[in-house]
Structure formats: C-alpha cells, structure tokens
Structure 1
Amino acid sequence: MNTLPFTFAGETFHARPSGALSWPAQGLLCVSDLHLGKSERMARRGGPMLPPYEGMETLAKLAEDIAATDPKTVICLGDSFDDSAAAEALDEETSEALGPLMAGRRWIWIEGNHDPGPVSVGGTHLATVTLAGITFRHIADPEKTREISGHYHPKARVALRGRSLSRRCFLVDDRRLVLPAYGTYTGGLSCDRPELSGLMAPGARAILLGDPPVALPMPRARRDAG
C-alpha cells in the first residue's frame, strides 16, 4: 500500500490510502470519525435501517493500518462512536475486535461532539493531546496553529477521464491539518463549502484518498479562488 509523505509543522507525516495518518518519528497512527455503532444509533432513533456491518469493516481497515505501521500510540480523533449510547451498545463481535488492536500500545480517545464522555472500552480519554508541540483535537480552533483535527469529513470533487468524482481527502496548510472521516458509514463535506474554505489558508492542499493518495491544490468555490 502506497503512502504520500508530506511536511506539516516541521514534521514528516504519511497520508495513507485508508484515510489514516502516520507519524513515523513518534510511532503514531491517527484516525478520525470512525462513528462506530452508527447503524445501531439510526435504528434506535427510527431512522433508515442500515446493514450492521460498519463496525467490523471499519476495524478491519484499522487492523490493516496498525499491522502496516506497528504504532506505539493510536489516537482516535473524536466521534469514534456515533453517540455515547452506541459506545455502550457495541455488538460483541465489534467489542472483541477492539481488544487486540488496543493491546500493547497507548490508545487515546479524543472527545468528539458525538461522543463527549468516557466509554467502557479502555484506553485514555482526553479533550486534546499535544505531542512535539502539535495539538490533536476533534474540531479545529480557528485561533490556533500547529493542530490536527477531524470533524468535518472533508471531500473534494475532481474531474477524471471526463467524469466528476468525489473523494475523501486530508486538508493541510501551514497552520492545520484536517483528517478525512475513517468510518464506513460517514458522509462528507465538500472542501469548497464556506466551513472549510474559510478555515483553510490560501495555498492549502487536498490529499485525495487512493492508492496512492494524490495531492492537489484545495478546490475552492469560484468566489474564493479570487
């Protein structure tokens, strides 16, 4: 599996085709917005019925990234569970799959807006964590720099062989890095929307998921492009 190395805040990171972020110098793997238990939450709230397989599919992908990078630390960057009740209602198969992934390494659950409280699956639960001067949080703080966040589920639309395709993507500029959603049942927010075009500095790049990932200037609405 190919990765795309890039520099942020003076450090070398690797964008993985899955949407995971590897930081080799720190022995770290970071993923955002797993939204485990989404099918259960939607059924509980009377929404559309979805096949209840997203948890195992997401964790199988995470297992591949962990096997490839052998991280000392894993950071789940918020909204790891679709809500607090979903965390407590994980099916037995999904709960048992988490154990081997967490074993023998530091595992940090960053609090998200969907899962603000501690859950009973182990690991460390924090609002933010800072490593080598870089802060990991769920939602970007426009007043901060040197931060890595998630929340927005960024995606970019590109033209390929005469077709318009939408891909999940990382967004990176000289101040912040925003991760794509990692979970199976997660939508996305186009990076030309004001929430993201206003957040990211001119010159920001989008790193589109794929094997290999591909970097290009972050697409913006025409009025933002100047």
Structure 2
Amino acid sequence: MNGYQFSFASTHFTALGSGALYWAAQSLLCVSDLHLGKSERIARRGGATLPPYETRDTLTRLAADIALTEPDIVVCLGDSFDDLNAALALPEAERSWLARLQAGRRWIWIEGNHDPGPVELGGTHLRELNLAPLTFRHIAQKNARAEISGHYHPKASVQLGGRRISRPAFLVDSDRMIMPAYGTYTGGLCSTSPVLEALMLPATCAILTGATPIAIPLFRKVSS
C-alpha cells in the first residue's frame, strides 16, 4: 500500500499519497473536503468557467482508494459538496457512482461549513463522529484531544532534488490531526499560516501527499 505509516492518539494509521487516511484496525477510510460540484457552483454564481471534470476526477481517485483498502466504513469529513445546491445538481451518473461506492459499507457524511444540510445521497449524516479514542469533525476545536478534522486544506513545502515543492499535507501533533483537502480544485493553506500556527503545537509533523508521501518536521513558533 502506497502510504506513510504513523501513530496518533495511540492508534496506527496510514496516510495515503492521495490524501486519504486509512485506519486498518477499524477498516475505515477517511477523506476530507471533496468539494464535489465546485465548477458547477462557480458557474452558477457567475464566476470563471472551470472544466467541469473535477467531480469525476475526485470520484475516480476515491474509487481507487476504496478498491485498494476495501474499507467497511468511509468517513467524508465535511465540505463533501461545494454547497447544498451543488449536491442537488449532481448528475445522475455521479449519483449512481456514489451509490455503487456506498454499497455494502457504512458511509458517513460529516457536516461541513459548505454543506450543512442533509442530502439525498444515502449514508448517514452526522455533526461529528466519536469512535474511541478519536473524534472526527470538520473544523478543529480549541483544546480538543485525539481530534481528526479538515476544513483548512493544509499544504507544506520541502526541498527535493534541488527544487522546492509544495503539496497538500496532513498536519499531525500529539493532540490533533488536520487532513488535506481531497477534492480537485480545492487549493491549500500554507502550514505556516497564522491560523494553523495557532492550532498546532510546536512539535508538528507534516506528511506531504504525492506518489511517495514524505514526512517532515515543522518548526513552529512557541506562543508567549
């Protein structure tokens, strides 16, 4: 399995190169911030026209990760759709594809700030998921422990082969994990941004996604 194996909250995980997280002991695959339907939402609001392929591209990668890990549980960690209307406008072919991916497994949609309402696409809709010893939610909460969240689309940079590359990244410290955005066209927030500096502890690891995931330490400011 292409991934970086690590421990968090006394629990063993694999960070896949795609940006998905696999918890083998629970047969659980977690992805965050799919933002399905983003090109439709931008066009609907009069923005720049983007190629309308991001939903199929995201679902193609998700299908590959499901085929690889064969999970019993899939957790979509919020902002699965770019807004509620994007979910309602999902083409029938993509709806059928999602139904096939859901078949035979528990599928959990965690509510995000982009998709707070229920959608008629199967699965279970939760504000957050507590699965000891962990809590899965969309937005990190201050003073939380053993928390896995998304929302911020973190990315990190590393020097490789004489050039500096930037990739979506998992941020992990002893208290929390913030997952990278999984969806196409999602962009990212630098791991050294003030909001992420405020959330993460000084001893933080970034696991960069890609063909070969790379783990690097982040040297963070210590709050006074």
State the TM bucket, normalised to the shorter chain: over 0.9
Instruction: Provide, for residues 148-201 of structure 1, a one-character-per-residue CA deviation record: whole Å limited to 9, x for no partner.
Output: 000000001222222221111000000001100000110000000011111110
Letter in 2 for 1:200: M
Give the match for residue 37 of structure 2. Answer: 37
Q: CA deviation at 1:141?
A: 0.3
CA RMSD of aligned residues (A): 1.2
Give the match for residue 16 of structure 1. Answer: 16
The answer as to whether partners of 1:148 and 1:178 remain within 8 angstroms in 2 is: yes
CA distance in 1, matches of 2:208, 2:222: 19
Gaps of 5+ in 2: none
State the identity %. Answer: 61
Instruction: Provide, for residues 15-51 of structure 1, a one-character-per-residue CA deviation record: whole Å limited to 9, x for no partner.
Output: 0000000000001000000000000000000001011
Instruction: Indicate the SS of the match to 2:57.
Output: helix
CA distance in 2, matches of 1:57, 1:210: 16
Instruction: Indicate the SS of the match to 1:218.
Output: strand
Give the match for residue 66 of structure 1. Answer: 66
The answer as to whether partners of 2:202 and 2:219 remain within 8 angstroms in 1 is: no
Give the match for residue 193 of structure 1. Answer: 193
CA distance in 2, matches of 1:193, 1:144: 20
Give the match for residue 106 of structure 1. Answer: 106
Which residues in structure 2 correspond to 1:1-226 (within 5 Å)?
A: 1-218=1-218, 220=220, 224=221
Letter in 1 for 2:18: S
CA distance in 1, matches of 2:219, 2:182: 21
Normalising by structure 2, what TM-score? 0.97
CA distance in 2, matches of 1:100, 1:31: 17
CA distance in 2, matches of 1:120, 1:43: 23
The answer as to whether partners of 2:205 and 2:217 remain within 8 angstroms in 1 is: yes
Gaps of 5+ in 1: none
